[in-house]
Amino acid sequence: MDKGEMHERLVRENGPALTVAKIAEPVLGDLGFRLVRVRISGQGNSELQVMAEREDGTLTIEDCVAITRALSPVLDVEDPIAGKYRLEISSPGIDRPLVRPCDFENNAGDVAKIELREALAGRRRFKGRLEGFEDGEVRIYVKPDDGSDDDVLIGLPFRQIHDAKLVMTDELFEKSRKAAKSGAPSDGSELD
């Protein structure tokens, strides 16, 4: 998989959220951001959440303001959502969704929950410690079905993933806290 494919987002949206994602991606790209996810909740007076990040995983309050100023007028013209809505720009947070192959690489060692579109060896849901990404598969250490204590390394086909996110653990919280203290790139979770 080449570098471009490692950063390609696995599209998860459908309906109006997919339309918003198609509108938002080029606007975000022009500003130097990547789209993580679009969610629409509520009816009538909906909330439109656009989750974004810089390539290094950060997102500041100033970034949210810049994205809002650029994206809001485009959404007003394109009008992808029926009725009124409130636009919210947010960071992925500490327990972020994993939507690109590079997300699994960058978070190797962290615990994640992954749900597949179709069962693999009788299972659709997996929880374990990420090992990374290789040959089109997310590599993750999971508890075996036989009940033994030793985790086994398995590969889950990236294209079969329906949903994936980091699990909030003390280790993940501490890692994020240290990154924020040192000024090192983090996931912008200080906004959550």
Among 73-82, 171-180, 183-192, which is the least confidently predicted range?
Answer: 183-192
Q: What distance in Å separates the CA atoms of residue 75 and residue 123, rounded to the nearest whole number?
A: 40
Structural tokens at position 145 = 């079905």
Other Cβ atoms closer than 10 A to 58: 20
Residue 183 confidence (pLDDT): 62
Amino acid at position 42, single letter: G
For residues 161 and 3, which has the higher predicted lDDT (pLDDT)? 161
Residues 3-90, CATH architecture: 2-Layer Sandwich (3.30)
Q: Tens digit of pLDDT for each residue in 103-146?
A: 999 999 999 999 999 999 899 999 999 999 999 999 999 998 77
Q: Please check whether residue 176 is in contact with residue 184, taking contact to mean a CB–CB distance below 8 angstroms.
A: no
Residue 190 confidence (pLDDT): 42
Residue 2 confidence (pLDDT): 66
Read off the pLDDT band of 187 (50, 70, 90).
very low
The segment(s) of the chain belonging to CATH 3.30.300.70 are 3-90
The segment(s) of the chain belonging to CATH 2.30.30.180 are 101-175
- Is residue 149 scored above 80 in pLDDT? yes
Residue 191 confidence (pLDDT): 40
SS3 content of the chain, % helix, strand, coil (to 5): 35, 35, 35
Cα–Cα nearest to 40, from 101, 71, 81: 81
DSSP state of 19: H
Q: Tens digit of pLDDT for each residue in 163-175?
A: 999 999 999 999 8
Q: Tens digit of pLDDT for each residue in 31-58?
A: 999 999 999 998 778 999 999 999 988 9
Q: Is 101-175 a domain of CATH 2.60.40.180?
A: no
pTM of the prediction?
Answer: 0.85
| Average pLDDT estimate for 9-13 | 81
Structural tokens at position 180 = 């924020």
